[in-house]
Structure 1
Amino acid sequence: MNVHDKAYELAKAIKESSEYKDMKEFRSIIDGDASSKSMLEDFRNRQNELQQKMAGGEMPPQEHMEQLQKQYEELARNPRINQLFDAERRLSIVLEDVQRIIAEPLQAMLK
């Protein structure tokens, strides 16, 4: 058994999953709507900026965190974007499960 071959099989299975297909479909719908796409891109950019600051050990001001939360809530009221957020959550759960399953042999060895 070749581990790399299995990894490619897993990547293919993920691409064929309903979670992945749903996310791709909703992303395509949003990309076709300039207003939704712009709002989502702005949110993602602000989110990435805050995450980078936090990864660098800098805690962003509470005000910035609250603004990002308000922006998220506003975006979630957009049905198309809310569908994308839901699809992203579902795919994230699948990927977290896969990560946990893959890590099991290593965890067992460390015990």
Structure 2
Amino acid sequence: MAVNLYDAAHELENLIRQSDEYKSLKNMYDAVNADPQARIMFDNFRQIQMNLQQKQMMGQEISPQEVDQAQKTVTLVQQNPKIAGLMQAEQRMGMVIGELNQLIMKPLEELYGVQQR
């Protein structure tokens, strides 16, 4: 009997969409998007975050001014209850995805772990 990993992955996708963590994340995301001021703040925060990540990936140095601006933006967005709730929901969803990734990678880790001994 052949196992279709893609079918299992699609089933996992559906289960993630039904999870409390995902539903909470979606509700918080919708609440931020429904509030024009919160959406602008969040979009600005995400843009700064993406710019810094892109610089890091390209090996470019991040200036102290950019670090300062990013820290000030984080402080500002965390003061907005809707954005703070969204960020907390993102963290919870990220933890779930991380745990799932560990489970998915376990067979390879075991395989290579045995060979390295």
CA distance in 2, matches of 1:59, 1:87: 30
Gaps of 5+ in 2: none
Number of equivalent positions? 111
Q: 1:81 aligns with which of 67, 79, 83?
A: 83
Instruction: Please give the secondary structure, in 1, of the residue aligned with 2:70.
Output: helix
User: Larger Rg: 1 or 2?
Assistant: 2
Instruction: Please give the secondary structure, in 1, of the residue aligned with 2:59.
Output: coil
Residues 16-55 of structure 1: pairs in structure 2 closer than 5 A: 16-55=18-57
Instruction: Please give the secondary structure, in 1, of the residue aligned with 2:60.
Output: coil
Could you tell me the percent identity over the aligned residues? Answer: 32
Deviates more, 1:89-98 or 1:58-67: 58-67
Moved over 3 A (4+): none
Give the deviation of 1:74 after TM superposition: 1.1
TM-score of the pair, normalised by structure 1: 0.96
CA distance in 1, matches of 2:14, 2:20: 12
CA distance in 2, matches of 1:19, 1:84: 11
Quote the residue 1:10 is aligned against.
12
TM-score of the pair, normalised by structure 2: 0.91
Give the deviation of 1:81 after TM superposition: 0.6
Gaps of 5+ in 1: none
